[in-house]
Structure 1
């Protein structure tokens, strides 16, 4: 009897202490009693990936200031606000607009582009057939320039992978080079905003944006992010990172970097790029100061008269013998590379024999060897890729005398019809 009373007294004491908060409940009791904490989820992100892999993750909701909301298009974006690699400059808003086809624009859309964005130039990268099938809606005061990047016919892959298609048709294709060359140069004189587009605004338009951003001084990450942003408007597989990776890889193999590609193929050297920057870039410090650099010369202030200082005549001294000066060029990274003045060419090249070659064999080229665009060796293509992957066929053979010494050069051609001349010993036969 006394034992049960004692036990009951102990239980009542423990219950009192528990209610008073002096002792804590057991782990299992705490787990059962505590309410489940709400789970916090990270903001949804769209990860743009290919069959291989991707390191580009950007917000599922991009900067709303970049999108031009129209009922008749899905992928219209203002490139304003995109920053240069050094972070000091950005594209002026309402100056460069990228879009998809415009044939579904309604009256409100036209008013937005004409009045709110001051579109004064439209560049259509579609083929004539695509234009005839769905012509653009007219924007008042904005004439249309037709630059078919695929030439007179719509593009077909002809068995190429999508990445190869980007390299062969959008980078090295004749119509792509001539079209993008005219487009970039037109931006130097266009007044008002320029809107450029194709069918979906992601391939031909996407590469046009890559070229603009590269010319304006944006880094590769920024250009790729802008390219991949089409996935937000069209779905996860609208564009793949492997496509733009292949584009940059072909540039690296043939031109070393995109700066050389802009200069050699698109006739858009550093001086023109500086003009483009002065036209489309402003400072990021909130003052929107127009871009300036060593290429922009300051005009004298007419309100401040300048009088030449009196000069004291000095006895004539013989002119010093000057050595050829070196020149400095601006590279992609913005650093100056000192280049020694080129010596006068002493090499004489004479073609002594020509022979067409038709062979069923496939060849590869030795890595990092000099090759040329012509048989007279006047126009260099630089050096072959260090790791040879492209397969070539021989179409022609020339026996050449270089300063009296004979050499044999072969004209090689890949399956995209790109050709080059290279020394015979650098061509290696492989099995089919």
Structure 2
């Protein structure tokens, strides 16, 4: 899995495991249900326990006409039981494209929604745009990048690659969490298509920062199954397994991979936590460091630009003996002529020691194919024009979800 970080430009050095200040660390780990083989990956995975109950859904569900999976995070308690999430502040949801006037009124009047964060891809937003909520600012953060190759499936390694180590996910969740720390007035409503995968992981991160224990977080993730959505304990188990294998803990992943600063995490706790003693005492705000008096400085003088040597056009003699200016060479251009998605169940192999790339424009070479060829599936084909010649490249994907581009002549059938 570590290798996958370099593929997405998200390699982060491991650091020490952090402990949330002011909140007791997660206490006992939930019991495990043993080793099973995931139906999606075929790999042995230690499963967490699904402790969710259908009756628990009523404690968080926001009853609306045209959404099934809208929930208020208010009421969840920290691991030490001293603090809980404020009500009417953080709402997780599924698609908002079919809201009726009563649904909109619930969001505006009861929950005072002032910020809507759409975690879907641009194509999904275009095909099913949100119904506008008056007075709420809409922000679009595509967690899966420009395209969703699957939506609502959330299966196996692909699910975790995209939502855990994918570059759009890391940068997207970072932007989202930093937004939550500065949103002022009213509640924040965040959603994807089904309200369980991208939204589910966003909620895992929020609850971890606020101090909920792992079992509470897992139970909330699994509540989507009672709203007609498909979620599996294998998915969230694999998510935790991959993070803890590579970072030691979810907290360390938040600190290092997502790079959410201690100050931002402290602001999130101060903003969204209140005491459980009935007094609704706000969680202590972080102390702002004293700002030293700035030392006055003289205005800097602009640097005098260095004279650039004059470049004269190259003059050559043509076939008639006349001197003419030689035209400048045009920059090399790479043009994609056609892109096609491939739907094949056949397994292929790639020839060893052949160049492959991160994209079909050949800008970022990844190196050579390994000596031992893996089994791959074809995902896409692209016709690319390079120096007036046309080539066909295949995008190939292995069982772990790693993808690469390679010339079609280097791909052979099993």
What displacement does 1:161 show? 8.1
State the structure with bigger RCO (CA 8 A, min sep 6), 1 or 2.
Answer: 2
Q: Could you say which residue in structure 1 is the equivalent of 2:274?
A: 282
TM-score (structure 2 length as normaliser): 0.59
Aligned-residue RMSD, C-alpha: 3.0
What displacement does 1:356 show? 5.4
Larger Rg: 1
Q: Could you say which residue in structure 2 is the equivalent of 1:183?
A: 176
What displacement does 1:259 show? 1.2
Q: Distance in 1 between matches of 2:92 and 2:79?
A: 21
Matched position secondary structure for 2:241 = helix
Q: Distance in 1 between matches of 2:274 and 2:200?
A: 23
Q: Distance in 2 between matches of 1:232 and 1:101?
A: 17
What displacement does 1:197 show? 0.2
Aligned pairs, how many?
Answer: 264
Q: Distance in 1 between matches of 2:147 and 2:288?
A: 45
Q: Could you say which residue in structure 1 is the equivalent of 2:141?
A: 147
Alpha-carbon spacing, 1:113–1:356, altered in 2? closer, same or farther (3 Å): closer
Q: Could you say which residue in structure 1 is the equivalent of 2:71?
A: 77
What displacement does 1:257 show? 0.8
Q: Does 1:255 align with 2:247?
A: yes
Q: Could you say which residue in structure 2 is the equivalent of 1:239?
A: 231
What displacement does 1:416 show? 4.5
What does residue range 9-408 of structure 1 map to in structure 2 within 5 Å? Answer: 55-62=49-56, 64-156=58-150, 162-191=155-184, 192-234=186-228, 238-292=230-284, 295-296=286-287, 357-361=368-372
Structure 1 segments of 4+ aligned residues over 6 angstroms from their partners: 49-54
What displacement does 1:130 show? 0.7
Alpha-carbon spacing, 1:263–1:362, altered in 2? closer, same or farther (3 Å): farther
What displacement does 1:266 show? 1.4
What displacement does 1:271 show? 2.6
Q: Distance in 1 between matches of 2:76 and 2:162?
A: 27
Alpha-carbon spacing, 1:417–1:287, altered in 2? closer, same or farther (3 Å): same
CA distances 1:142-180 after superposition (whole Å, capped 9, x unpaired): 0110001111111349xx981212320001001111110
Matched position secondary structure for 1:87 = coil
**Structure 1 regions of 5+ residues with no counterpart?**
1-48, 300-354, 364-412, 420-431
TM-score (structure 1 length as normaliser): 0.56
Q: Distance in 1 between matches of 2:52 and 2:243?
A: 25
Alpha-carbon spacing, 1:218–1:360, altered in 2? closer, same or farther (3 Å): same
Q: Distance in 2 between matches of 1:279 and 1:161?
A: 31
Q: Distance in 1 between matches of 2:84 and 2:111?
A: 17
Q: Distance in 2 between matches of 1:214 and 1:54?
A: 16
